[in-house]
Amino acid sequence: MSQIKPEIRSRAEAWLTDVFDEETKNEIHNLLENNPKELEESFYKNLEFGTGGMRGIMGVGTNRINKYTLGKNTQGLADFLKKEFTGEQPKAAIAYDCRNNSKELAKVVAEVFSANGVEVYLFSDLRPTPELSFAVKYLDCHCGIVLTASHNPPEYNGYKVYWQDGGQLVPPQDKQVVDLINSLEYSEVNFDAKQELIHEIDTEIDKAFSKASVKNGSFHTSASAKENLGIIFTSLHGTSITLVPGVLEKAGFTNVNVVQEQKEPDGNFPTVKSPNPEEPEALKMALDLAKEKSADIVIGTDPDCDRLGIAVPDLNGEMILLNGNQTMLVMTWFLLEQWKKENKLKGNEFVASTIVSTPMLKNIVESYNVEYHEVLTGFKWIAKLIKDHPELDFIGGGEESFGYMVGDFVRDKDAVTSTLLACEIAAKMKEEGSSFYKKLLELYTEYGLYREELISLVKKGIEGEQEIKQMLIDLRENPWQEIDGEKVVLIEDYQSSTARNLQDHTEENIDLPKSNVLIYYTEGGTKIAARPSGTEPKIKFYISVNADLDKVNNHEKVNQELADKVSRIKKELQIG
């Protein structure tokens, strides 16, 4: 008992009032008596909005995902909608993924909205996140919510907020909404649902979204090329099973094998350690099936179907996993080529990516005389670019963390349409006697061979949070001067919005919102970014190195040299 800090005890005991249900109160009594450490983790702070909305471990407490924390979010959002759209009937669309409790939590969100006079369109069953983004615009809603924690472990869930344009909540509305939420007491949350304001949605939106996906992801590939492409697909127990196989079939891809053991949606993700297509282990079953079927491409999506991982045969016919940067490079090149062939490049188009993604993308985009825009991490910033620049046509965009968006009919990363796009590219390349992988190597010979690596250091709990803060403070107060024998020439600090040139000792302003990100550039073209994850207890380091590649056959040699360079950097900076 004496181990519990007074402020933690006070916050926990506030949850023992009649505002909260008996089950919640019983659990808090249990924590008070038997688990002070867990009690502290549950109550030491309020859950905060990060790059992908709000994510957290499910359980009781202010720092957990539960009906009360999400109810409070929704109450604040409902209050904001009524202030922002005076005289209108506010409308909200709600979707949820395969995670444990997602359906029940989505129902709570719907009930709180309806209790506050907001008309609700609730999907009847689990759906991919990009379909929610689409539904917000399709149904002319003021906002949208999706209950998901993307690829986080099974104990997590989350709450992502979308706005009228189908993009996630961004400034200035995000701060206004968060301030409103923080000003509320739990006793002010209205859970008294008005069922007449809650409408179930399903097949109409599915059909409209599938049709739009096929339209945006198809590029005049011949029927025979589509039929000749052997595809292995896994939903990793997630929502993509509801749409991706059907979209591929509608687009004419008939040779699709789904990994049956991972087909059923399941929030416990029983066949994988992590349902993250960035992790090679997650795609093992799909790769085994690909070998058995002699497939041409393997695609796996994360639980809410906004990210995709791809494997394709290398020059020796062995399946190789591509990283998010590599997939993005080939997809963007392909889209630019198609727009060029169709004479659609008029000088007002743009492609977007993030500050921690590969610098190589800029080289490709600008070679087509298309504008390249860089934003902070998170697709909400790409969606904001589209919204802020209606005079420009958005071709596509992506980020290193395995997300891609084709066109602007959806305003978030979209693994449904991107899966179709990947298959279109693979089919066309195969028909032309090339391959997805060979095209990537050819791009390297044209624009330089870039090798990227992400290092994620997990730092859990209160102590971990402090450790991450201190690491970034140290990097600011004692910046690296040299990396692998190369002088650091530029340091970008997105928290102070300054870019400091160490050669001529000048400073420039960074015209992006403030964010806790540091990026180092060396005289040899090495780039290293450091940032805390906005959705997980991690600090992330993004390393990018590059070299010239004179011909495809030298790829392995030069790539190994770059791999060795990355290893030296990790050891030198003690981040590996």
Q: Is 150 designated active site?
A: yes
CB 31 within 8 A of CB 22: no
Burial label, 77 (beta-carbon count in 10 A; 0-12, 13-18, 19+): buried
**DSSP string spanning 244-299?**
HHHHHHHTT---EEE-GGG-S--TT-TT-S---TTSGGGGHHHHHHHHHHT-SEEE
CB 101 within 8 A of CB 115: no
Nearest to 97 by CA among 117, 75, 126: 126
d(CA 28, CA 20): 11
CB 314 within 8 A of CB 438: no
Bridge-based pairing of strands 231-234 and 297-301 is parallel
Judged by DSSP in three states, 38 sits in helix
Which amino acid would we find at residue 405?
A: M
d(CA 303, CA 128): 8
d(CA 459, CA 467): 7
Between the alpha carbon of residue 453 and those of residues 3, 151, 233, 278, 546, the distances in Å are 42, 19, 25, 12, 12
d(CA 59, CA 305): 25
Residues 6+ apart with CB under 8 A from 69: 46, 47, 56, 62
Looking at residue 241, what DSSP letter applies?
G
CB 170 within 8 A of CB 177: no
Q: Taken in order 393, 250, 149, 201, is the CA torsion positive or negative?
A: positive
Q: Taken in order 126, 99, 269, 575, is the CA torsion positive or negative?
A: positive
Q: Which of 102, 133, 150, 240 is catalytic?
A: 150
Number of Cβ within a 10 Å radius of residue 106: 24
Which amino acid would we find at residue 173?
A: Q
CB 118 within 8 A of CB 84: no
CB 295 within 8 A of CB 232: yes
Q: Please tell me the number of Cα atoms within 13 Å of 155 on its side-chain side.
A: 5
Between the alpha carbon of residue 492 and those of residues 81, 353, 425, 479, 518, the distances in Å are 37, 17, 36, 11, 6
Q: Taken in order 340, 344, 348, 354, is the CA torsion positive or negative?
A: negative
Q: Taken in order 571, 398, 172, 303, is the CA torsion positive or negative?
A: negative
Catalytic residue annotation: 150
